[in-house]
Amino acid sequence: MAYSQGFSPHPKVSWVGAAPTGVASEAEYVEVSVVERVDPEALKAALDEALPPGIDVVDVVQARGGNLTERIDASEWRIELDGVEPDALAEAVAALLAAGEVEVERLTKDGKKVIDVRPAIVSALVEPRSSDAGHDEPALSQPCGILMTVVRQVTPTVRPDDVLNALRVVADLVPPVPARATRMAQGRLDDEGRLVDPLQQDKES
């Protein structure tokens, strides 16, 4: 692994768009600089062996031009809201998408800050999760609305809790229990607002 120069060298490892505290993720990316070329599969095996159970390296590729930060400008989030009817969530989402701006408050180390969430939200749709579950999904005793949303990685970062606060602002939607958020994908947006695999050009080279 390559290290920085100076009095206190650090390994050259760079996380892109690290997930906020309190959420899960199925799509984290990291750049590792090395001093000489290594076999990607061998590196994948070594990293997997060193990582704790439950954290798996899905793929390793050799970068072939451009840093990873330049290839990622949005994330797709799955937000599960137990106790919220899918129809009620859909109405709130419609109100959010129809709004020109939606300002929410965020508590920072410097006090409260107001941010406009709406420009960062590329898309949002509701997937119902009913009690008539199939074999692969357990039956539920209460409703659960599932929000799938694509959010641009802007400054300041718009997080899943900001999206939930925006739903509260536009539709007074407040889940009875804390929501569960999982990042499902990261990538660059195409012309239709879909995410493109940031490693695609490396895999095709």
Closest CA to 199 of 37, 29, 19, 13: 29
Strands 24-25 and 180-189: parallel
Number of CB atoms found within 10 A of residue 103's CB = 13
pLDDT at 88 over 90: yes
Here the tokens at position 104 are 């929410």
Q: What is the pTM of this model?
A: 0.84
Q: Which H or E element spans position 104?
A: strand 103-108
Residue 125: pLDDT band with limits 50, 70, 90: very high
Which tops the pLDDT comparison, 186 or 71?
A: 186
> Is residue 192 classed exposed, middle or buried when 0-12, 13-18 and 19+ CB atoms within 10 A define those classes?
exposed
Q: Residue 156's pLDDT band (boundaries 50, 70, 90)?
A: confident
pLDDT for res 79: 97
Question: In terms of pLDDT, which residue wins out, 132 or 102?
Answer: 102
Structural domains of the chain, ranges and CATH numbers in brackets: 13-69 (no CATH), 72-189 (3.30.70)
pLDDT for 86 equals: 94
Q: Which residue has the tokens 């499902």?
A: 184
Q: Is the pLDDT of residue 128 over 80?
A: no
Q: Which residue has the higher pLDDT, 34 or 92?
A: 92
Mean pLDDT throughout 100-108?
90
- Quick one: pLDDT at residue 152? 93
8 A C-beta contact, residue 63 and residue 201:
no
What pLDDT shows up at residue 135?
43
| Structural Rg of the chain based on CA atoms | 20
